[in-house]
Amino acid sequence: MQFDLLSHLPQAKLIEVHQRLCAVYGCPIPYFHNLDPLSELISALLSHRTRNAQSGQAYRQLRQAFATWEAVRDAPTEQIQAAIAPVTWPEQKAPRLQAVLQRLTQEQGEPLSLDFLADLSVASARVRLETIPGVGPKTSAAVLAFSTLRRRALPVDSHHHRVAIRLGLIPKQLAVGPSHQVLEAQLPDSWSAQQVYDNHEILMLHGQRCCRYRQPQCDRCPLLDLCPYGQTLKI
């Protein structure tokens, strides 16, 4: 029988996990960005397969080199590539960024902005963002959650995804992209945008600091009694 991803959601377990990790990592967690939605989109596209320190440096260099996103759109591509050199694959990301900005110009005109997303529902805003080539569920959720919009959307990165699989919140064969829908469906309807953001952050932090890909530190994990993966390692 095919597994029904949206039935029998383990919401009670997710809430218990959330409460325990909040006690460890300190909720509410401050937002790490205060960027407008378009700037957050550019930042997210730069961060793909790149460490935060390098993508952050590249974003700062890009903003220092170009006063507006229109200037980034119209500059010689090699200048964009030079500005974002710290990221992985700058030779691919530079023309991709310009293509995104060119598309937004064709669709929305100038000045370039994604502020109109504030007038859409979260679901509609995500559909709109995901029409942009290169924008998937993680990026659309990040733009809505991390930007000044502060909307109720749940990004799932590789650390978050790994912890959720090990805890049994999602099946191990479920890829990161489709996991967004399943993990978001587990969230209580009453949770605020801050609580949803906290949930992403604490699961990501736990994956980075304790539930690592290699050599997870199960002996000090506050979730060990809830974790089928950790229990198998104890046997």
Residue 151, domain member (yes or no): no
Domain final residue pick, 111, 146, 181: 146
Q: Beta-carbon neighbour count of residue 156 at 10 Å?
A: 25
* 1 within a domain of the structure (yes/no): no
User: Both 119 and 173 in a single domain?
Assistant: no
**41 & 142 share domain:** yes
Q: Are residues 45 and 139 in the same domain?
A: yes
Residue 183: give its domain's CATH number.
1.10.1670.10
Same domain, yes or no: 188 and 104:
no
**Domain annotation covers residue 24:** yes
Is the residue at 166 inside a domain?
yes
Total number of domains constituting the chain: 2
Joined tokens for residue 184:
């978001």
| Assigned domain for 6 exists | no
* Residues 41 and 134 occupy one common structural domain: yes
Residue 5 lies in a domain: no
Q: Please check whether residues 142 and 171 belong to one and the same domain.
A: no
76 shares a domain with 134: yes
Q: What pLDDT is stored for residue 9 in this prediction?
A: 52
CB-CB contact of 140 with 126 (8 Å): yes
Residue 3 resides in a domain: no
Give the contacts of 213 (CB within 8 A, at least 6 positions apart): 162
Q: What is the CATH number of the domain that holds 45?
A: 1.10.340.30
Domain holding 110, by residue range, is: 37-146
Q: Is residue 235 part of a domain?
A: no
Q: Reduced to 3 DSSP states, what percent helix, strand and coil does the chain have, rounded to the nearest 5?
A: 60, 0, 40
Model's pTM, two decimal places? 0.91
- Distance between CA atoms of 108 and 162, rounded to whole angstroms? 38
208 and 113 belong to one structural domain? no
Q: What is the pLDDT of residue 234?
A: 66
Residues 105 and 132 in one domain: yes
Q: How far apart are CA 191 and CA 93, in angstroms?
A: 35
Q: What is residue 7's predicted lDDT score, i.e. its pLDDT?
A: 40
State which of 104, 119, 146 marks the end of a domain. 146
Q: Are residues 96 and 195 in the same domain?
A: no
| Mean pLDDT, contiguous 10-residue spans, the chain (235 residues) | 46 94 98 95 94 94 98 98 97 97 95 97 97 94 98 97 96 95 95 98 98 95 95 76
Domain boundary among 91, 113, 146: 146
Q: At what angle do helices 37-47 and 52-65 cross, to 10 degrees?
A: 130
pLDDT for res 3? 40
Q: Which residue has the tokens 């109720």?
A: 152
| pLDDT at residue 233 in the model | 83
